[in-house]
């Protein structure tokens, strides 16, 4: 399964960024060569993102960190963080209220959606995009699921919501379809 995840991830990452070179960083983690500068320019951010992705790669996932942002086009356009197991994924770390969780999920969702619309070749099969949130506040998982389901009610994209609860150390994952089903939307 890991070799299939690696192949699917490399295929998608290379389709999105055909001129990028992928550097192995750790077990199951590759990084766009152009993004490696972040490790030195923003070490705190880099360490946070690496610790977040290790939660997933330690369980067998394969991650390809994407370039940080557009160099030649829109200067403030930020890309999602990575391709994980063949799907575009944005990572967020959230502390605060349920409202903050909803806002950060929407931001991450839009980043993934935007990249797929603008960077995939025309003949590439449709792709889903996912959001992974490391939640440091003490919110109940039922409230988290309900909030994200509400954020997805008018969206039809495929993907997953992955949530790591820092306080309990529990990792959860649901497809967008499973979450929409909570509120009766498929």
How many structural domains are present in the chain?
A: 1
**Rounded mean pLDDT of 74-83?**
75
Residues in CB range of 4: below 8 A, 6 or more apart: none
Q: 139: how many CB neighbours lie within 10 A of its CB?
A: 20
Q: 60-93 in b/e burial notation, b at 16+ Cβ within 10 A?
A: ebbbbbbbbeeeeeeeeeebbbbbbbbbbbbbbb
- Domain CATH for 94: 3.40.1350.120
Q: Which of 4, 30, 32 is nearest to 16 (CA)?
A: 32
Q: What is the pTM of this model?
A: 0.90
Q: Is the pLDDT of residue 71 over 60?
A: no
Q: State how far the Cα of 166 lies from the Cα of 164, in Å rounded to an integer.
A: 6
Instruction: Give the domain range for residue 25.
Output: 2-182
> Which pair of structure tokens corresponds to residue 129?
């995009």
Residues 6+ apart with CB under 8 A from 142: none
pLDDT digits (tens, 9 = 90+) for 121-171: 888 888 889 999 999 999 999 999 999 999 998 888 899 999 999 999 999
Tell me if 80 sits within 8 A of 69, measured CB to CB. no
State pLDDT tens for residues 32-44.
998 888 777 888 8
């Amino acid at each position: 399964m890991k070799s299939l995840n690696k192949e699917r991830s490399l295929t998608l990452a290379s389709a999105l960024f055909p001129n990028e070179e992928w550097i192995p960083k750790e077990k199951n983690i590759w990084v766009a060569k152009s993004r490696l500068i972040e490790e030195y320019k923003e070490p705190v951010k880099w360490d946070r993102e690496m610790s977040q992705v290790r939660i997933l790669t330690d369980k067998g996932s394969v991650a390809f960190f994407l370039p940080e942002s557009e160099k030649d086009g829109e200067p403030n356009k930020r890309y999602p963080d990575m391709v994980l197991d063949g799907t575009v994924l944005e990572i967020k770390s959230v502390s605060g209220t349920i409202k903050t969780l909803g806002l950060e999920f929407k931001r991450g969702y839009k980043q993934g959606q935007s990249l797929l619309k603008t960077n995939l070749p025309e003949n590439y099969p449709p792709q889903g995009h996912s959001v992974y949130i490391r939640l440091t506040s003490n919110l109940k998982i039922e409230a988290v699921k309900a909030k994200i389901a509400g954020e997805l009610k008018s969206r039809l994209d495929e993907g997953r919501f992955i949530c790591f609860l820092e306080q309990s150390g529990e990792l959860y994952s649901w497809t967008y379809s499973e979450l929409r089903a909570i509120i009766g939307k498929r």
